[in-house]
Structure 1
Amino acid sequence: MADGRELAVVVIGFRAPAELVAAVRSLLAQNIPLEVVVVNSGGGNAQALLADAGLAVPVIEFEQRLFAGAARNSGIAATKAPFVAFLADDCLACPRWAEVRLRHHREGAATVASAIVNSHPRNLVACAAHLVTYMRRLPGLPDEKAQRYGVSFDRRLFDQYGLFDERLASGEDTEFMARLPEAMRPVWEPRILTIHRNETRLLDMLADQYRRGRRYGAYLGSLDAEKPQRPFRKVFRDRRNVAKLARAGLSGTERTFAMMSLPIVWLALFAKSLGAVAGAKYGDKAGRRQ
């Protein structure tokens, strides 16, 4: 255990973006002490960026770009706390994010999943981006409909089942969790909320969804089990589910704006589907970590 801190959080940065400061600050503002380490790859100076903001946390810098699996593994090796969570540089941990997560681990859960909330719930473009990317991680979803990501892990799992695959452009957490027995399936805990910063401008959002689709297509292509046309259908068929999941997973004003964004959702799904086809055919040459 690191100085009595039971939960380590690895913050994954890419090119030291300015948003990294808010991500780290959201962890330091939690109501329990955490072991925080930043792993930044692709250049930039995350150490200086955080120091200028008055934040003193360990930083590991890599000039080359790392996929998320390699960044996760570097953070695991650099920390000691018995449980390990991860936070991307474009996300914020909401209050009690760590406390509720750690409570489940103390009660014996090996893995704990979390929900995602929209950074701009009254912006229709951001609502569309959020639904396309996180429709199965909305906080109001029942256990049987939720997709279990944003997971924290008992550190002993990495000794028993190995580390994350460092070669995958995306899907490294999916691949790792597939190695775990069913009894270690993540607990779905919608009270653990992570804010994701969504694009608010249409063209930026469509470009982002295309890139996400390309990473997903490259992941499918790496499985050697998909024909090039299949990724398009796998992504675009979500248009049938998004309205039902939004109604189940959101409430009040957030649900109203989400339903108003559905025409943009379908456009975003089309862009993501095209990216998936390109990724399956050509890989993710320009991709970055998820």
Structure 2
Amino acid sequence: MSGAAADIRYTVLDYSALDGWAEDDHASALDVFRSTCRDMNDPDWRSLCAVASEIPDAKAFFELFFRPVLIEDGQPGLFTGYFEPELQGSKRPSTRYRYPVYAMPREARVSRPWHTRREILQGGVMSGRGLEIAWVDDPVELFFLQIQGSGRIKLPGGRTIRVGYSGSNGHEYRSIGQELVRRGTYAPHQVSADVIKNWVKRNPAAGEELLFHNPSYVFFREVSEVPPELGPLGAMNRSITTMRTVAVDPAFVPLGAPVWIEKDGRDPLRRLMVAQDTGSAIKGAQRADVFFGTGDKAGREAGRLRDPGRLMVLMPIQRAYALLPESAI
């Protein structure tokens, strides 16, 4: 883990301090942990991954080999949600399917930052290069596909292709929801993905300009080899799991680590999840994005989530105590 160490506080907790720990389905969390732990490079994590297949009692496995660590950077905890959207599209452009889903240009990986969203869509830099993976019928849904980072595109005739995150243009993400709040269009508690989509569709010209407020642009790659019954690929290039995968800031949380979630708000959530993904808007030690699954229902649930709480990273015991200052040991 990195970050400004002087501004970070680490607290090692007992499992008795985790609200709802005893009631969770630890076996489900262990299955998810096993699905990606073999891809972790650190020897401590790899050794625990090997042990994970040998201990039948999942709760005992976590309690025996890990300690919960509360990592604080001075910012309050914030939980949001994300999902895998389904869009209508085609492999060929038409009057209906006019909005391209682009693969990443080679030079965008080298020149950082590259062109802005406006320049990519209006400047002609993508024309005639054969980088279109597909064309979709709704520019707003395409914008939100970029925010989610992966999705399914239903083609005429019933076939579906899947796309996953390939890279970005290197510009910082700027929230269009926060921009609508800044303008006084909505109060903070009114903003959701559905509210933003409806506003853009009701105000097409102003809506296009609102989307340009976010200069970040995401490129995709086709990942149709992922079986339809599995979740999309996360940052570890493995399928993620509905309500057991969380996206985190890897500057604070190691990818692949178990994470205990205590989300408050209207529907409290107490659950052991696994940090298998990242997101351009997920920054900070107490910032997390919960994966809700695929489709419209998952999208509505994810879009409503914006709640306080706290998260604890389950670290290998020796690593947990190594994070503490000597005076605290």
Which protein is bigger by CA-based radius of gyration?
2
Highest RCO, 1 vs 2 (Cα 8 Å, sep ≥ 6):
2
Identify whether the pair has TM-score above 0.5, normalized to the shorter chain: no
Q: Compute the TM-score of the two structures, normalised by the length of structure 2.
A: 0.23
TM-score (norm 1): 0.25
Higher strand share: 2
Structure 1 or 2: more helix by fraction: 1
